[in-house]
């Protein structure tokens, strides 16, 4: 009789008639899985503080699961944490931890599988193989989550936020670190990534392939193994982001590979081995970006055509622009170059002498990298001075014919 009364109390009805189920360790409803099995569509499941060790929690109906006091779902290294298979599910205020590494399956702290309009927000995922994994899903929101791991190698780690064959997601204000990739997309469309911080990941802070019509705004990508890679896509908008301190022999602030009809605007590239690497990408517009204290600010291959680089600022980079060809199929105009030494007789704010941003020494280094040891030598200064007076080897067509005299405000 007492047990039945306790269950009844756990199944309190909200004032508007909404079913509310309370989960408490050792209480009448001691597991989240049991609460889901008891829930009617639209029910609210309140999970009280405590540690819950149970098999994979399968959410197969429309419910809201809310944690009070950061309840812990401990997968004990043996399986996934939560598997969502119903539309319009809400997960909030939960801690999911200890999803063990697997070389045969992509285990996740929270998995969304073939669902729509779900919300995963304000959760903490700690030491999960994959953090939040979505497959064949649409219209979902992933917001305000902390996802942290301790990955050491690419092969033994998963991604913090992973989307596959999905569309129309909103991924905002998450903080991710210690995974293979901070955010990974493959075959994704129409998705917004905004206000996230991705740092200290083994490979990329953000990595996506075959994902069109996506936008990346106001994110911070810092100290990741190889920076950010955007590959095989079109109509990508990358604005207002910070790419910083991504260093290594194959590290970039941002790599664009086989990208078309896309825009890179208002970003900051600071302290990277290469700020922006453009490979086989066409009709890229890069405007109002700041390139500061990078090894190479921009490296662009001859296979890239129709690029426009306008109103950008270049400060304190070892090399402003590098290319592997003497011809250029991109346009540079109206940029501010701190190494420009021209003059402005008509006082219109633009130099009267064109600026050639490709240094002769950068061509030498591209063929013989150990030559970097001579970077600050007087010999290199003589080489660059001679090439400016009588250009022979540097690209004649890669020139800013309208360089700014003052840094844009």
- Per-residue pLDDT, 382: 61
**Beta-ladder partners of 208:** 185, 230
User: How many angstroms separate the CA atoms of 344 and 198, rounded?
Assistant: 43
- Per-residue pLDDT, 387: 54
Q: Which residues of 79-102 are buried (b: 16+ CB within 10 A; e: fewer)?
A: bbbbbbebbbbbbbbbbbbbbeeb
pLDDT at 6 over 50: no
Domains of the chain: 19-337 (2.160.20.10)
Range in 62-76, 354-368, 390-404 the model is least confident about: 354-368
80 or 389: which leads in pLDDT: 80
- Per-residue pLDDT, 8: 47
User: How many angstroms separate the CA atoms of 332 and 312, rounded?
Assistant: 9
What is the rounded average pLDDT of the residues 328-345? 88
Long-range contacts of the stretch 205-214 (C-beta < 8 A, 24+)? 205/181, 205/246, 206/181, 206/182, 206/230, 207/159, 207/181, 207/183, 208/183, 208/184, 208/233, 209/185, 209/233, 210/186, 211/185, 211/186, 211/187, 211/236, 212/236, 213/189, 214/185, 214/188, 214/189, 214/190
DSSP 3-state of 228? strand
Range in 93-102, 112-121, 223-232 the model is least confident about: 93-102
- Per-residue pLDDT, 408: 79
How many helices (H) and strands (E) in the chain?
4, 38
- Per-residue pLDDT, 1: 41
User: How many angstroms separate the CA atoms of 367 and 409, rounded?
Assistant: 37
Tens-place pLDDT, residues 290-327 = 999 999 999 998 889 899 999 999 999 988 998 876 56
Range in 75-84, 189-198, 258-267, 278-287 the model is least confident about: 75-84
Q: Report angle CA 11, 48, 27 to the nearest 5 degrees.
A: 55
């Amino acid at each position: 009789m007492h047990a039945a009364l306790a269950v009844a109390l756990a199944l309190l009805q909200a004032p508007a008639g909404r079913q509310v189920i309370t989960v408490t360790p050792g209480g009448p409803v001691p597991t989240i899985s049991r609460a889901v099995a008891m829930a009617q569509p639209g029910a609210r499941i309140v999970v009280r503080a405590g540690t819950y060790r149970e098999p994979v929690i399968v959410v197969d109906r429309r419910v809201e699961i809310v944690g009070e006091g950061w309840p812990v779902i401990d997968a004990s290294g043996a399986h996934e944490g939560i598997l969502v298979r119903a539309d319009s599910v809400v997960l909030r205020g939960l801690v999911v931890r200890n999803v063990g590494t697997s070389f045969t399956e992509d285990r996740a702290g929270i998995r969304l599988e073939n669902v729509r309009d779900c919300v995963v927000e304000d959760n903490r995922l700690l030491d999960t193989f994959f953090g939040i994994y979505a497959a064949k899903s649409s219209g979902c929101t992933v917001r305000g989550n902390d996802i942290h791991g301790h990955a050491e190698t690419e092969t033994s780690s998963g991604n913090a936020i992973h989307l596959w064959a999905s569309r129309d997601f909103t991924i905002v204000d998450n903080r991710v670190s210690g995974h293979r990739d901070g955010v990974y997309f493959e075959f994704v469309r129409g998705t917004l990534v905004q206000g996230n911080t991705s740092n200290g990941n083994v490979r990329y802070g953000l990595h996506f392939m075959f994902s069109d019509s996506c936008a990346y705004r106001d994110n911070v990508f810092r100290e990741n193994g190889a920076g950010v890679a955007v590959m095989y896509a079109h109509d990508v908008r990358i604005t207002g982001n910070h790419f910083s301190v991504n260093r290594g022999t194959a590290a970039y602030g941002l790599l664009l590979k086989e990208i078309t009809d896309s825009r890179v605007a208002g970003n900051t590239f600071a302290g990277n081995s290469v700020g922006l690497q453009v490979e086989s990408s066409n009709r890229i517009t890069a405007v109002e970006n700041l390139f500061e204290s990078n090894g190479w600010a921009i490296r662009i291959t001859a296979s890239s055509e129709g690029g426009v680089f306008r109103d950008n600022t270049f400060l304190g980079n070892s090399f402003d622009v590098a290319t592997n060809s003497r011809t250029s199929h991109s346009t540079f105009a109206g940029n501010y170059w701190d190494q420009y030494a021209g003059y402005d007789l008509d006082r219109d704010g633009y130099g009267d002498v064109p600026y050639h941003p490709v240094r002769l020494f950068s061509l030498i280094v591209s063929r013989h990298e150990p030559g970097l040891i001579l970077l600050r030598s007087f010999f290199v200064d003589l080489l660059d001075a001679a090439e400016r007076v009588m250009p022979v080897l540097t690209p004649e067509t890669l020139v800013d014919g309208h360089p700014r005299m003052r840094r844009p405000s």
